[in-house]
Amino acid sequence: MLDRDRCLALDAEDPLREFREEFVLPEGVIYLVGNSLGALPRHAPERLRRAVEDEWGGQLVGGWNSAGWYDQPLTLGDRIAPLIGAGPGQVVVGNTTSIAIHQAVSAAARLRPGRKVVVSDARNFPTDHYMVQGLAESLGYEVRDVSEGRFDDVAAVLLSEVDYRTGERQDVPEVTARVQAAGALMIWDVCHSVGAMPVDVSAADFAVGCTYKYLNGGPGSPAFLYVNPRHQADAVNVLSGWYGHADPFAFEAGYRPAQGIRRFAVSTPHVLSFAALDAALDVWERVPLHLLRAKSVALGELFAGLVGDALEPASPADPERRGSHVAFRHPDGYPVMRALIDRGVHGDFRAPDILRFGLAPLYLRYVDVYDAARTLLEVLDKELWRDEKYARRLAVT
Amino acid sequence: MLDRDRCLALDAEDPLREFREEFVLPEGVIYLVGNSLGALPRHAPERLRRAVEDEWGGQLVGGWNSAGWYDQPLTLGDRIAPLIGAGPGQVVVGNTTSIAIHQAVSAAARLRPGRKVVVSDARNFPTDHYMVQGLAESLGYEVRDVSEGRFDDVAAVLLSEVDYRTGERQDVPEVTARVQAAGALMIWDVCHSVGAMPVDVSAADFAVGCTYKYLNGGPGSPAFLYVNPRHQADAVNVLSGWYGHADPFAFEAGYRPAQGIRRFAVSTPHVLSFAALDAALDVWERVPLHLLRAKSVALGELFAGLVGDALEPASPADPERRGSHVAFRHPDGYPVMRALIDRGVHGDFRAPDILRFGLAPLYLRYVDVYDAARTLLEVLDKELWRDEKYARRLAVT
């Protein structure tokens, strides 16, 4: 087992160590929730100030041209593309992951008109199911769980590359090939993998993801939608807003879809939220993703190794089958996590019994992981979580 | 006709005059595009700084509880409600007008299952049509123009209170009653009326609107959706994301809609864009809407009166039938508007031939309107717009 000095040495030789300096991290906190909301990039406040004061305040409606607001959904899409194995003109930014799912599943259903089944996965983040359920009910489709393993009558399959609770990672190329061999379309949700490892959705039909987790785009920053170029000419955007029109400023009476990825834009971008994401993507241009993955694996192995058998693991033991968070089960997971947070180690709890620790490799140090695991062991060993002040549920956990 | 001194006197006695001081308005510009993008509230930059540095940077994921992010869609909805004649628990904020239209029309269609027609209006802003067309195509519905005047087989009627081009204002109570008497549901788009006059959608079934125009919520600030309480128990949100779930943090496999307006929330709010809107709504708490409307009418009469017959009017002559912008037609409207902007008077152009002047009564002075009209007359009289530098189209106008 590594000791603390060895962790300090690993930090000193970490090729990603300088990225930590680009983020604001509160004093006295070990932040293991970067998989839920990423940290603030140090230069983001100035980018926001510029968007608010110089662009909105100074240029007013002219900002749509002069500040590049109009093209944000596509320019930011092109900046995200390299992070998911996509090329220019394949990704559009805007709205939320839920809404991007509605667009992708609707489009996939229209591309496979004879098939009236959509497959989801009980392990998807619930909004993925919920969106599929709402759409399927509206269209009269069946929703089937992936565990049934039958795709030959399926229009679309929506799976997550990394499980939001357990961190289990799917074999994207293998699953994509299997689904497509059965004639179904593959939609990947990469919310819990993008920015934590190299992602490659280029063989998939569609992909969706959020930008406020490992990408550090800010609370509620806009989501993205990848559409494989082979579908861009035929896929229908059911949310056929003016931003996806071939000539939005002609104010024609009839919807006429744009060519290319612009067709999947819906409407006016949330400019201020886009500005923060734009700042976050400045950092990503310089991140070597293979080094990021190597560090993520090393941090995960360190944390899991230190915890040992003090907690029941919920994540796969094989780091190749794991994303960048590690999870454990505890029947009193909620007070355990609150006791831990009270001691400066911030993870999160996912009902009913999951303790989740996000290991954002861009700004987390080996020594942070070491200290977090030691604190966790102390909380468990001394049963500090039994204090009644940790029992009361907060509104959001 | 009023002269400039009389305008200065009207400004001096204007009961709304102090509101102008609450907005940042660039030097040397008369801004008549507040109906497209409202001006920056003077205290909004500090609110954004707080959201970015103190909340995101300082509280990180804790901001969902401690900074009130989680409840923003409902708390901001309750702040908007009084501006549209609605009560608490009737308005939810989030996403875009286009997406709110998709929700409202979908829900209305489900509430009127035997009727397979949706009525829209060629005078709606195009995204309204486009969204209806995309949804109708997906569901196999017919889209009919309101000019046909037949509602007895119609599920939902989507109309704009104020025409985005001409400023023509509908008689909301009369139209609502007529549509509902035919058994159809009434959906109002109040994008071009909210924040310009008292709006009352309380008799309607649904209403949608944006917040970046007269409400000054910032570029691409989130939209709102009103759902009449009589429908809240039965209406289905087809965009059934986790934010509309009865217990979002239980992570249940099945979607179970929340009671009340929360059911119409979709997913994670764009927090930074919400923060700017929140700042803008601080101002609206103090605005007497009847005085706002009186000033809007007076500004419109002043502008139309000064322009006289120098341009063909596109707006109704009767101020009661007009919103808060006035519009004119000119075959070379684009270069005319560019020549005007070059002289510090910012209006906008809407294809094919509409010159549009938004008269935001909260921060516009009588003397601004006077000076703008005189400049317009000079551009027309001296044919200054014939300069070839004004002919080239910009990407966004």
DSSP assignments along B137-203, one per residue: HHHT-EEEEGGG---TT-SEEEEESB-TTT-BB--HHHHHHHHHHTT-EEEEE-TTTBTTB----TT
The per-residue pLDDT for range B288-346, each reduced to its tens digit, is 999 999 999 999 999 999 999 999 999 999 999 999 999 999 999 999 999 999 999 99
Is A202 labelled a binding residue?
Answer: no
Q: Within an 8 Å CB–CB cutoff, is residue A46 touching chain B?
A: no
* Tally of CB atoms within 10 A around A312: 11
Query: Which positions ≥6 away from B181 have C-beta within 8 Å?
Result: none
C-beta of residue B107 within 8 angstroms of C-beta of residue B236: yes
**Between A65, A102, A273, which is nearest B394 by CB?**
A65
On chain A, the residues whose CB falls within 8 A of the CB of B220 are 69, 268-274
How does residue A351 score in pLDDT terms, banded at 50, 70 and 90?
A: confident
Question: Residue B396: what pLDDT?
Answer: 55
In sequence order, the β-bridge partners of residue A329 are: A312, A354
Is A71 labelled a binding residue?
Answer: no
Interface test with B, best of A66, A267, A274 (most B CBs within 10 A): A267
Q: Please state, in angstroms and rounded to a whole number, the distance separating the CA atoms of residues B42 and B175.
A: 38
Q: Please state, in angstroms and rounded to a whole number, the distance separating the CA atoms of residues B265 and B246.
A: 11
Residue A324, min C-alpha distance to chain B (Å):
17
Name all domains of chain B by residue range, CATH numbers in brackets.
4-31+288-390 (3.90.1150.10), 46-284 (3.40.640.10)
CB contacts < 8 A (A, B): 281
The per-residue pLDDT for range B227-280, each reduced to its tens digit, is 999 999 999 999 999 999 999 988 899 999 999 999 999 999 999 999 999 999
- Side chain identity, residue A141: Y
On average, the pLDDT of chain B sits at 96
Can you tell me which residue has the tokens 């993870």? A347
Chain B contacts in chain A segment 182-221 (CB below 8 A): 210, 212, 218-221
**Between A61, A220, A250, which is nearest B269 by CB?**
A220
- Can you read off the two tokens belonging to residue B159? 């109309």
In 3D space, the residue among A112, A125, A95 whose CA is nearest the CA of residue A225 turns out to be A95
Helix count (H) and strand count (E) of chain A?
12, 15
Q: Please state, in angstroms and rounded to a whole number, the distance separating the CA atoms of residues A305 and A311.
A: 11
Chain B contacts in chain A segment 75-94 (CB below 8 A): none
Residue A1 has pLDDT above 70, yes or no: no
Quick check: helix, strand or coil at residue B257? strand
Q: Please state, in angstroms and rounded to a whole number, the distance separating the CA atoms of residues B117 and B343.
A: 48
Q: Within an 8 Å CB–CB cutoff, is residue A54 touching chain B?
A: no
Residue A54 has pLDDT above 90, yes or no: yes
Query: Which positions ≥6 away from B36 have C-beta within 8 Å?
Result: A61, B213, B348, B358
Answer yes or no: B382 catalytic.
no
Question: Residue B392: what pLDDT?
Answer: 76
ipTM reported for the complex, 2 dp: 0.97
Q: On the CB side of B26, how many CA atoms lie within 13 Å of its CA?
A: 21
On chain B, the residues whose CB falls within 8 A of the CB of A58 are 26
Proportion of chain A above pLDDT 70, given as a percent: 99
Q: Provide the residue-wise pLDDT of chain B in tens; the chain has 397 residues.
A: 589 999 999 999 999 999 999 999 999 999 999 999 999 999 999 999 999 999 999 999 999 999 999 999 999 999 999 999 999 999 999 999 999 999 999 999 999 999 999 999 988 999 999 999 999 999 999 999 999 999 999 999 999 999 999 999 999 999 999 999 999 999 999 999 999 999 999 999 999 999 999 999 999 999 999 999 999 999 999 999 999 999 998 889 999 999 999 999 999 999 999 999 999 999 999 999 999 999 999 999 999 999 999 999 999 999 999 999 999 999 999 999 999 999 999 999 998 899 999 999 999 999 999 999 999 999 999 999 999 999 877 655 4
Question: Residue A383: what pLDDT?
Answer: 95
**Between B61, B110, B396, which is nearest A37 by CB?**
B61
- Can you read off the two tokens belonging to residue A284? 């990503």
Quick check: helix, strand or coil at residue A366? helix
